Amino acid sequence: MMYNFFQSKDADKPGYLSTWPAHASSQTVQQKYPLSGLNRHHGCSDEFGGRATKPRFLEQLQSYLKSELTALDTLSPKLQERKLQVYQEVFDSLIEEFTTYKPLLSTIKNEYDITLAYLQEQIRELKPLRSQLVLLSEQCDKKVLELRKNERAEIRALKQERQHFQQVIEGMREQQRALETQVYHLQEELAAQYLQYRDECDARKLLIAKISSMSYNTEEEPDGDYNEVQSEDPVTVKLALKVCREDLTRAQVELNRLHAEYGEVVPHRDWENLDHMYKENLLQLETLQSDFNQMKSEYDILLDEHRKVSLQKDNLQRELDVFQKASTPRPHWEQCADVLGGRERWSEIFEGQSSKKRLEVLLEELNSMGMEQKDFFPGMVRTHVVNVHFLLLVNLLSTGSVFQ
């Protein structure tokens, strides 16, 4: 349980021990079991006997803290820094009041200040990385957009070319179907004319043979051999006609076979043209496919890099937000220029010095100028951010009152 040590308004002696608010819960025990006739701890009898009240010093601190926080501008961009400044002033006053624990509290406060200074230094180092990160992210986004634009244009061109080739192929197919239909009709017409010609030829030959046989019968035969030859002519003609019909049948069968095997064959010249066009289109398609695959791989790499950069940017942004919330406002050493004799002398003294060294130089200059002539420094808590160490130094050198 934590105790507060302070001087009560009812005890003027130093070293008075107050256990507020811890003793408030023990009053019921005191009332139920009064310690009559027993020795009590020095400084505790009055508080346990009456109503528990806050120490006056604690009430002053709370009142001051409430008034300062109420006076702050809630719309100011540096609201958190000014609130931290007010709390630091209250904590410094507590350190000054508790002389017994002052070294320990001062050490704790110095460690916090060193840690906040280190975090602020880390934030300053990360700010250039943040700008580089934003620039790299913008460049990656721009490159990705350009790649997408080029890819869309190439895909659109390939689609148009494919549609053109499809139209050409469809036109050639229509032309081939029309030619096949025309060839089929011509073949049917040729077969019909051939059958008609064969029938007419056979009828003419039979008619000639019949006329010849009739004429031979009416004429006188000069000798026996001639009559024998004339009598055999119709048989010879019939045999010849039979042989011719067999040849015609074989020729028709061969023609049907050739039509069945080579009916869908295109001319060699057309085939060579189509094959040449197909090879050119295939080569162009392979080239475009290889280019597309290369661009796609580059695009995937860029997407991966962009994803990594985005993650790094988010992590750095979160760390920057944490550092900004936990950082302590730095002192404005330029305000000491008027006290030290102008900006030229201030820049000569403070150039390249740390905050600790600047504080030592300021103490030496103030001692040399005669700080005994000044009673106090006006506070600027509400309008400016003042360094905590500088305010503590001024309070120590002034009349000793924290809130003066």
Q: What is the pLDDT of residue 269?
A: 84
- Identify the helix (H) or strand (E) that includes residue 294: helix 268-326
Residues of the chain short of pLDDT 70, as ranges, are 1-52, 218-233, 327-332, 369-404
Q: What is the Cα–Cα distance from 89 to 388, expressed in whole angstroms?
A: 7
Q: What is the pLDDT of residue 46?
A: 46
Judge residue 399's burial from the number of C-beta atoms within 10 Å of its C-beta, 0-12 exposed, 13-18 middle, 19 or more buried: exposed
Q: What is the Cα–Cα distance from 57 to 16, expressed in whole angstroms?
A: 14
Q: What is the pLDDT of residue 288?
A: 93
Helix axis angle for 355-369 and 343-350, nearest 10°, is 130
Q: What is the pLDDT of residue 172?
A: 92
Please give the model's pTM, rounded to 2 decimal places.
0.27
Q: What is the pLDDT of residue 305?
A: 92
Q: Is 289 a domain residue? A: yes
Q: What is the pLDDT of residue 206?
A: 82
Q: Is 42 a domain residue? A: no
Q: Is 312 a domain residue? A: yes
**Six token digits for residue 134:** 């934003």
Judge residue 304's burial from the number of C-beta atoms within 10 Å of its C-beta, 0-12 exposed, 13-18 middle, 19 or more buried: exposed
Q: Is 285 a domain residue? A: yes
Q: Is 3 a domain residue? A: no
Q: Is 16 a domain residue? A: no
Q: Is 348 a domain residue? A: no
Q: What is the pLDDT of residue 57?
A: 82
**Six token digits for residue 352:** 């390249």
Q: Is 131 a domain residue? A: no
**Six token digits for residue 35:** 């310690």
> Exposed e or buried b for every residue in 130-168, given b needs 16+ CB within 10 A?
eeebeeeeeebeeeeeebeeeeeeeeeeeeeeeeeeeee
By residue range, what is the domain housing residue 237? 154-326
- Give the distance between the most distant pair of CA atoms in the chain: 193
Instruction: Indicate the number of domains in the chain.
Output: 1
HSE-CB for 192 with a 13 A CA cutoff:
6
